[in-house]
């Protein structure tokens, strides 16, 4: 099963052995958009772009060609609380990936000309989100829900900030944040674990621990609102939600199952059946549960006809009442558990998904539960567990709603 190791400088290493010829590797760093303030807002995402633009050992072309040149793929993403750099490659090229991760994380030079070009790239990324109301509404919702707290920050940042990022500002932000003890090297592949540890020791082990300057001690306060924004879109966009359990909460498993029942990816979710299939009000309706280290968010999103907004809101409230007031029958509970366990197995059957899943879990929990352990947690839930959690969070007075209308 999973193999763990921690280097002397605090870098954690995790391996999930696989028989595949393809290895999936990545580095999770416990730094994200919530760790920015003021003129730094958006800089974690900008750093995720900029570390590919040159190091003391390589120019941008050589960085991109290092993995892609042997048929692999190199990529990265930023969230509110993490940054991840990852690659897919044949197993014999794993050390290329490990070495490159170390190079771009610790030796990036952020050349002025490359930074200027990347500013244009990120500005276009911001423009593309502005043109996509189904994505933009999530960012605006979080800005309202966590107003006054760093969790409200748009991951992409503002155009004003992005235009003014400098190499000096990037280096200043990275110091004390992108440090070894906030990193996890995660690998899924056919590789000897001792060999993996040696690779990590060679390329990560000589970087010294540094005092972390990250402070997440201020707890966010979820704001209640009901706001309409005129976006002149052909379709109305509705996002309603509430605060939810954080990643360390003992209610997390129950809430995950509730989310899956209400609006998970399956076509038989309650929201899909009651609103799309029965009435045809929308093409897309789904729910999401996003836990953070000290809070969480539960969303329900629908893209609907403008004339159907009020009716959809009523039907959503009906389903929330249903799961809070009426206990699941034994058959409903059994089917919900089987469905969720099956979905988790299918998701983790993809090496890239598993690499990201175990990397994030090891970063947050110092261990990773196996599928069997997660299934045990889900199977231990009773109908009253589900109902109690739903009643705690799904009071109408606790919900906030953002609607894009014409």
- Please check whether residue 246 is in contact with residue 293, taking contact to mean a CB–CB distance below 8 angstroms: yes
- pLDDT at position 168 is 96
HSE-up (13 A, CA, CB side) for residue 347: 14
pLDDT tens digits, residue range 125-149? 999 988 899 999 999 999 999 999 9
Res 128: pLDDT: 92
Its sign, for the CA torsion 386, 387, 392, 396, is positive
pLDDT at 130: 83
Percent of the chain's residues with pLDDT above 90: 94
Which residue, chain included where needed, has tokens 């034994």?
330
Residues 339, 354: Cα–Cα separation, whole Å: 19
Give the residue from 253, 248, 228 showing the smallest Cα distance to 238. Answer: 228
Strand 183-189 to 12-17 pairing: parallel
Look up residue 161 and give its two tokens: 């900030």
What's the CA gap between 255 and 336, in Å, rounded? Answer: 12
Q: How far apart are the first and last CA of the chain?
A: 53
DSSP three-state, residue 212: coil
pTM: 0.94
Question: Along the chain (406 residues), what's the average pLDDT of each consecutive run of 10 residues?
Answer: 96 97 98 96 97 95 94 97 98 97 97 94 92 93 97 95 96 96 97 98 94 92 96 92 98 98 94 92 93 97 94 96 97 97 93 96 95 96 98 98 94
Supply the pLDDT for residue 234: 87
Q: What is the pLDDT of residue 189?
A: 97
Three-state secondary-structure class, residue 342? helix
Q: How far apart (Å, rounded) are the C-alpha atoms in residues 66 and 96?
A: 7
User: How much is the pLDDT for 282?
Assistant: 87
- All domains in the chain, ordered by first residue: 3-204 (3.30.830.10), 226-405 (3.30.830.10)
Residue 245's closest CA among 261, 256, 231?
256
Residue 372 burial by Cβ neighbours in a 10 Å radius (0-12, 13-18, 19+):
exposed
Alpha-carbon distance values, 393 to 108, 191, 231, 241, 309 (Å):
45, 44, 30, 10, 23
Query: Encoding tokens for residue 68?
Result: 């892609």
Q: Please give the sequence-ordered ranges of beta strands (E in DSSP) within 99-232, or none if there are none.
A: 183-189, 226-230
Q: What distance in Å separates the CA atoms of residue 150 and residue 336, rounded to the nearest whole number?
A: 35
Q: What is the pLDDT of residues 61-98, one digit of tens each?
A: 999 999 999 999 999 999 999 999 999 999 999 999 99
Phi, then psi, of 157 in degrees rounded to 5: 80, -175
């Amino acid at each position: 099963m999973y193999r763990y190791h921690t280097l002397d400088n605090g870098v954690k290493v995790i391996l999930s052995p696989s028989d595949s010829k393809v290895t999936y590797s990545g580095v999770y760093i416990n730094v994200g958009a919530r760790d920015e303030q003021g003129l730094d807002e958006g800089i974690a995402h900008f750093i995720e772009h900029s570390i590919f633009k040159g190091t003391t050992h390589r120019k941008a072309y050589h960085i991109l060609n290092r993995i892609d040149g042997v048929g692999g793929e190199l990529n990265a993403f930023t969230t509110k609380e993490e940054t991840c750099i990852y690659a897919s490659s044949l197993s014999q090229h794993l050390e290329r990936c490990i070495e490159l991760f170390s190079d771009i994380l610790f030796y990036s030079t952020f050349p002025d000309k490359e930074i200027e070009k990347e500013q244009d790239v990120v500005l276009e990324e911001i423009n593309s989100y502005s043109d996509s109301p189904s994505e933009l509404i999530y960012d605006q919702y979080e800005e309202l829900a966590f107003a006054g707290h760093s969790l409200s920050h748009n991951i992409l940042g503002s155009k004003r900030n992005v235009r003014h990022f400098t190499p000096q500002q990037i280096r200043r932000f990275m110091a004390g944040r992108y440090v070894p003890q906030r990193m996890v090297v995660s690998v899924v592949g056919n590789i000897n674990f001792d060999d993996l540890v040696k690779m990590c020791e060679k390329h990560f082990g000589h970087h010294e621990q540094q005092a972390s300057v990250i402070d997440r001690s201020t707890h966010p306060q979820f704001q209640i609102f009901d706001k309409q924004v005129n976006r002149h879109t052909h379709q109305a966009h509705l996002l309603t939600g509430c605060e939810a359990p954080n990643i360390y909460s003992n209610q997390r498993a129950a809430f995950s199952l509730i989310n899956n029942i209400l609006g998970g990816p399956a076509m038989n979710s309650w929201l899909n059946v009651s609103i799309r299939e029965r009435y045809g009000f929308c093409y897309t309706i789904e729910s999401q549960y996003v836990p953070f280290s000290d809070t969480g968010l539960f969303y329900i999103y629908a893209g609907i006809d403008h004339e159907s907004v009020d009716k959809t809101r009523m039907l959503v409230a009906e389903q929330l009442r249903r799961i809070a007031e009426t206990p699941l029958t034994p058959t409903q509970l059994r089917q919900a558990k089987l469905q969720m366990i099956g979905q988790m197995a299918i998701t983790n059957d993809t090496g890239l998904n598993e690499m990201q899943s175990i990397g994030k879990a090891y970063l947050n929990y110092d261990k990773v539960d196996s599928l069997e352990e997660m299934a045990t947690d889900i199977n231990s839930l009773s109908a009253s567990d589900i109902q109690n959690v739903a009643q705690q969070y799904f009071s109408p007075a606790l919900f906030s709603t953002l609607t894009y209308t014409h």
